């Protein structure tokens, strides 16, 4: 069975994008690898929302060629690269489809925030690698917004500090 993983950067004040939805504030921190290659070696499928997909398409060359990707959206998304499917299934149908696509490998819940939040609060995420970047944005798209219900307890498994001030925190949920 596949594990569902979050691997994302956020500002010190908890934002994954600025008020315009832009992530250019991450550019000066892209020189380091942060274990990305090893992480990607475990990934068998990716889930993202339409806004994230549109943003990635705007960067030029598609970065996930060869990996099956679902774009979770309320409507049909056109003009997608090979291996990328528009998807509008419910949570359980989406989980099943991602597991089918991933085989015995992991599923990356790439983003955006609403997609990550939906999977976290539904109890579907096994591990989160959060990269806290030493930037204060003061506003934008929060990784975690308000949620009704009980607090979710996580287990801190690892902390890695990088020379450029980025701190990686790896959490597992209680489902493991």
- What is the pTM for the complete model shown? 0.94
**Per the structure block, which two tokens stand in for 167?**
């701190």
Residue-level pLDDT at 75: 85
The CATH number of residue 99's host domain is 3.40.430.10
The C-alpha torsion from 21 through 23 and 24 to 29, rounded to 10°, is 160
> Which pLDDT score, from 0 to 100, does residue 141 have?
95
Residue found by looking up tokens 């929060």 in the block: 142
Q: 99: domain range?
A: 4-173
pLDDT, residue 174, reads 65
What pLDDT does residue 146 have? Answer: 77
* Tokens 């030493």, located at residue: 134
- Nearest Cα residue to 75 out of 92, 54, 55, 101: 54
Ranges of residues in the chain with a pLDDT under 70 are 148, 174-176
**Number of domains into which the chain is organized:** 1
Q: What is the pLDDT of residues 49-98, one digit of tens each?
A: 999 999 999 888 899 999 999 999 988 888 899 999 999 989 999 999 99
Rounded to an integer, what distance in angstroms lies between the CA atom of residue 165 and that of residue 110?
A: 23
The count of C-alpha atoms lying within 13 angstroms of the C-alpha of 100, restricted to the half-sphere facing its C-beta, is 7
């Amino acid at each position: 069975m596949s594990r569902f993983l979050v691997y994302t950067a956020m500002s010190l004040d908890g934002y994954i994008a600025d008020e315009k939805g832009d992530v250019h504030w991450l550019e000066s921190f892209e020189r380091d690898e942060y274990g990305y290659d090893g992480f990607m070696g475990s990934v068998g499928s990716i889930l993202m929302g339409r806004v994230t997909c549109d943003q990635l398409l705007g960067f030029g060359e598609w970065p996930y060629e060869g990996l099956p990707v679902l774009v979770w959206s309320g409507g049909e998304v056109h003009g997608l690269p090979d291996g990328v499917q528009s998807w509008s299934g419910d949570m359980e149908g989406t989980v099943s489809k991602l597991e089918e696509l991933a085989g015995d490998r992991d599923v990356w819940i790439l983003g955006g925030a609403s997609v990550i939040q939906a999977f976290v609060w539904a109890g579907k995420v096994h591990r989160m690698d959060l990269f806290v970047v030493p930037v204060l944005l003061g506003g934008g798209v929060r990784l975690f917004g308000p949620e009704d219900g009980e607090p979710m307890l996580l287990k801190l498994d690892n902390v890695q500090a990088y020379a450029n001030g980025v701190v990686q925190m790896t959490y597992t949920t209680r489902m493991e």
